[in-house]
Structure 1
Amino acid sequence: MENAAEKLITDMTYFISELLPVNIEQVKNKLSAIMVKYHVTQIEDEEAHPDLYEKIKLYLSAKKLEGLSSATLKGYELELNIFANKIRKKAVDVTSADVRIYLADLEHLKMSTIGQKLSILKSFFGWLVGEEVIKRDPTMKLKTPKTEKRLPKALTIEELEMLREACNTVRQRAFIEILYATGCRLSEVYALNKDSINFQTMSTNVIGKGNKEREVYFSWKALYHLKKYLKTRTDDCGALIVTERKPYRRLSKRGIQYEINQIAKSAGLEKRVSPHTLRHTFATLLLNNGAELVAIQELLGHSSSDTTLRYARITEERKREQHKKYLVQ
């Protein structure tokens, strides 16, 4: 049975013989001498072309050097490999029609999800063009689908107090106070260790999106309940928040989300409450209490103030108060 190189030599020889009157054996021998310098792999019709996967690896390596988080890189890798499995072409051969058909097959998904997938493809092909790996970006003319912009629902002061009073354990109360006082993302709180808390300055450093480090601050109430929780701990695990049962280990992100959900149920709150809801609440109440937008942006770790404005929703009472205070009569 012929290997890939032999089959390629045979195919090329007969192709040449159809164009020119040649000695087939001489041509095969000459091509064989050339081909020994190369490793040839045959691509089966049902296989995806390896070129696209190779370009994906290059792209992810470059993005890793740019400081993208491991979670973001894994998400990009998953999405791009799904695309490669579907398209089965070399990167240079991918067309706008290929991308449109791929996205059209995802009609069962939300427009926001399809928009995210297209955004990743735009980043990938845009990078390939920028690095002069390919000359044409097949996603350039494709527009990101419009999605309904919904303002995040923050808790009112009354709802926040209901959440606090519904806590059944010191650990649950520590959850609530830390998430609210720092305005941290779930992933940032999850990664905290006991020795990373500076009780004197009432602060800690967290690693946010884009691998950016920033300082966040605790309230007196948050530190009080955190100390109260830590005093109940008898384990030697370094994580700030651990499981309640042995073997003690860092509580997972899903575990934290579950606890917050249980507290919200106990409080009888009708709206959905997640760790991110407390982040919204942090931003909204700071803004309504007179904090500068730039300061809130820094505290949340946003690179753009536009993102901060989506988190911070001013209340009707605050709008009315600002109108009366600043309107020139």
Structure 2
Amino acid sequence: MSVLGRSQSTFSNYSRHVASMALHFGKIPTELDPEQVQEYMFMLQKRSKTPSQTYFKHCVYGLRFLLKSEGLPYEYLHLPSIKHEKKLPTVLSKEEVWQMLKSCQLLKHKVLIGLLYGCGLRCMEVRSVRLQDLDYDRQQLKVVQGKGKKDRYVPLSEHLIRVLKVYIQAEKPKTYLFNGQPVERAGRDFDSRYSQRGVQWAVKQASKAAGITKDVCVHTLRHTFATHLLEDGLDIVSLKNLLGHEQIQTTMEYLHIAQLDTQKAFSPLDTLFEKCGTK
């Protein structure tokens, strides 16, 4: 997996699912009968609480990688196909983002949400921001080894820079911009970056305090960043580079969400009332 450039989180995810299945049957999955695999998959599908059945899908992906590593076809275990659901992401209005920023009780959370929205960062990327990655003079943030192990630069708002300076002066972080609590697992010391759960909680709390009824998660702010930039006139190629997308097709999905002046949709009720409302 390392040679193929897969991330540590993918490795942990796949190996955890394969290990769970091995423990369930007392043997490695490649020694199982297809019927046993089907039975296990059915159990996972029924146990999955989310509509997307993430746990079920990740188990299939882990088993696929195991078979690939062993040089075996997917049909060896009769693995089911995974249908990719086409869902448009949730996007906030500028007023809702403003309310989230105003609702933050901690300066740390205000800076966090400012970076997620203002720079379009992923959860891991915002957790990994170091002091040395901030370039106030050029008004840029260097995103180091984002998804796909690629570096990129994103613009830093002058408004965010002012708040960053106040936050750093008050909190005095040493290496990473956002510090959490250092933990130790299995004899290994982990760095003290703000945890993924901590970032998720901060975003949920801010959206709740702002009275937003939409289903808001960390990635919602990245979707909102992309959509608002398109609506503000940024071209699609520049947006692709800012988001760090590999394929332009991924970025073009935001064209279905953005309300552009050239193609802004409207309801026929509006024109109906304009023409007939005074009669």
Task: Summarize the alignment of residues 181-200 of structure 1 with structure 2, pairs less than 5 Å apart.
Answer: 181-200=118-137
**SS in structure 1 of the partner of residue 108 of structure 2:** helix
Instruction: Compute the displacement of 1:285 (Å).
Output: 1.0
Residue of structure 1 equivalent to 2:246: 303
Instruction: Compute the displacement of 1:192 (Å).
Output: 1.3
Residue of structure 2 equivalent to 1:237: 174
Q: Please give the alpha-carbon distance, in whole angstroms, between the structure 2 residues aligned to 1:145 and 1:236.
A: 43
Query: C-alpha root-mean-square deviation of aligned residues, in Å?
Result: 2.8
Instruction: Compute the displacement of 1:185 (Å).
Output: 0.5
Q: Please give the alpha-carbon distance, in whole angstroms, between the structure 2 residues aligned to 1:125 and 1:254.
A: 32
1:108 aligns with 2:36: no
Residue of structure 2 equivalent to 1:127: 69
Number of aligned positions between the proteins: 251
Equivalent of residue 224 in structure 1, options 156, 162, 166 = 162
Q: Please give the alpha-carbon distance, in whole angstroms, between the structure 2 residues aligned to 1:87 and 1:212.
A: 40
Residue of structure 1 equivalent to 2:218: 275
Gaps of 5+ in 2: 182-191, 267-279
- 1:254 to 1:319, Cα distance in 2 relative to 1, 3 A: farther
TM-score in terms of structure 1 length: 0.67
Equivalent of residue 208 in structure 1, options 134, 138, 146 = 146
Q: Please give the alpha-carbon distance, in whole angstroms, between the structure 2 residues aligned to 1:296 and 1:139.
A: 42
Alpha-carbon displacement from aligned partner over 1:99-125 (angstroms, at most 9, x marks no partner): 322211212214532233212222221
**SS in structure 1 of the partner of residue 143 of structure 2:** strand
Alpha-carbon displacement from aligned partner over 1:275-311 (angstroms, at most 9, x marks no partner): 2111110111122233333332222222233433456
Contact 1:155 1:281 survives alignment (8 Å)? yes
**SS in structure 2 of the partner of residue 211 of structure 1:** coil
Contact 2:259 2:265 survives alignment (8 Å)? no
Instruction: Compute the displacement of 1:143 (Å).
Output: 4.0
Which structure would you say has the larger RCO, counting Cα contacts within 8 Å and 6 or more residues apart? Answer: 2
Residue of structure 1 equivalent to 2:195: 252
Instruction: Compute the displacement of 1:209 (Å).
Output: 2.3
Residue of structure 2 equivalent to 1:36: none
Q: Please give the alpha-carbon distance, in whole angstroms, between the structure 2 residues aligned to 1:313 and 1:155.
A: 15
TM-score in terms of structure 2 length: 0.77
Contact 1:177 1:221 survives alignment (8 Å)? no
Task: Summarize the alignment of residues 80-159 of structure 1 with structure 2, pairs less than 5 Å apart.
Answer: 80-89=18-27, 93-106=31-44, 107-109=46-48, 110=50, 111-113=52-54, 114-129=56-71, 134=72, 136-138=73-75, 142-146=79-83, 148-159=85-96
Alpha-carbon displacement from aligned partner over 1:9-48 (angstroms, at most 9, x marks no partner): xxxxxxxxxxxxxxxxxxxxxxxxxxxxxxxxxxxxxxxx
- 1:196 to 1:101, Cα distance in 2 relative to 1, 3 A: same
Q: What letter is aligned with 2:153?
A: E
Q: Please give the alpha-carbon distance, in whole angstroms, between the structure 1 residues aligned to 2:67 and 2:180.
A: 43
Contact 1:203 1:217 survives alignment (8 Å)? yes
- 1:236 to 1:319, Cα distance in 2 relative to 1, 3 A: closer
